[in-house]
Amino acid sequence: MHIPPPTPRQNHWNRVLLNTFWLVLLVYLASQLFISLSMWGLRPEFTDRQYFVTHVFIPDSIILVLILILESIRKWKPMYSELSIVFASHIYAILIITNLSEEYPVKPLIMLSPLLVSMIYLKSSYMKISSAICLIYIVMLFIGTPSYEYTLRIQHVIIALIFAATALAGFGVICRGKDLMRSLEESVKSEQDLRIQNIIMDRLSKIDPLTDLYNHKTFHEYLGWLIEHQQSNPFPMQLAVLDIDNFKKVNDQYGHWVGDIVLKQVAAMVLKHIGTDDFAARYGGEEFVVILTAKPLNEANEIMERILTGIAGMPVAEMEGSSVTVSIGMHEFSVTDSKSFTFQQADDALYEAKKTGKNKIVLL
């Protein structure tokens, strides 16, 4: 069976539980030393060398080795870290219980720790295994308790009830946790769907559906923003207005559907030649606008020349292989220019190109 690698959150909780194991070991060792020191001279059985070897050094060394093994698994085989921690929590609890004196009747409650570990991982399979082990442990306690030790048996019954309540609470926490995780996933998915819808709606509000260029409204917003930005950070900027020559003739002769194909091809040619810092939009009808930024005028003019010749040399299959031409008016922005003046200059240049022969660029 393929076990997927742990997620960052799983790694986090594995680390938290391993740190808890280290902390419990330190507290357990400190309590053993405290008991030995407090009993010094009063209870020799708690202070002699044999006691330290049997009840301190050996069990604590086993626990230390167990934790080091868990650390190695987390480092080299992280996909098995979660399962090994759950398994080790039972060994950890049993080692502490077997090492404690029979004078501590509440020591079986240490078996609650594996239940709590299983609860943290929010996996019912771990909780079932831990509950079964606790049940076996309680049965062994009853078997090992003489019938005349009714007080001890009552204590075992109370402990069994505590185990059962903890297990039931654990299953409830796991179910509730899974419900919350599902709700969170659904909420995240809904938020993602809404975000995608907003992105789509935002795009639809800015893009011309036929040519896939920006629309008239977006052009004016962007040009205004660029001109405002020029006040604090001037940079070269040119505005070009393009108009397809004799476009009405194309629609009349071949039909509007062919006219739509021409618009798409002209838009594609514009996008092919402008850079990532530039902006192209369909202004309306057969008219397009291009904003060229961060380049000198001669380079901007070369780009528009390539667009001009590219469109003129682009055959349209639906027009029996004929092509269309465009007229282009350009204006280089000056820091004293307003948005309306900038557009008016480019539009006047386009009018001049149309009037003086078409299929050409005029700069004003």
Catalytic residues: 286
Distance separating alpha carbons of residues 231 and 333, to the nearest angstrom: 12
Smallest Cα–Cα separation from 223: which of 244, 207, 238? 238
Buried b (16+ CB within 10 A) or exposed e, 271-299: eebbeeebbbbbbeebbbbbbbbebeeee
What residue type is assigned to position 231 of the chain? Answer: Q
Q: Compute the distance between CA of residue 351 and CA of residue 254 in angstroms, rounded to an integer.
A: 26
Q: Is residue 354 within 8 Å of 243, Cβ to Cβ?
A: yes
Helix (H) or strand (E) holding 305: helix 297-312
| DSSP count for the chain of H helices, then E strands | 12, 5
Task: Name residue, tokens 């357990």.
Answer: 28
Contact indicator for 289, 242 with CB cutoff of 8 Å: yes
Which residues are registered as beta bridge partners of 239? Answer: 291, 331
* Cα separation, 311 vs 270, whole angstroms: 9
Q: Are 66 and 92 in contact (CB under 8 A)?
A: yes
Distances 284 to 109, 211, 214, 280, 327 between C-alpha atoms, Å: 80, 11, 11, 12, 15
112-120 vs 124-144: helix axis angle to the nearest 10?
A: 170
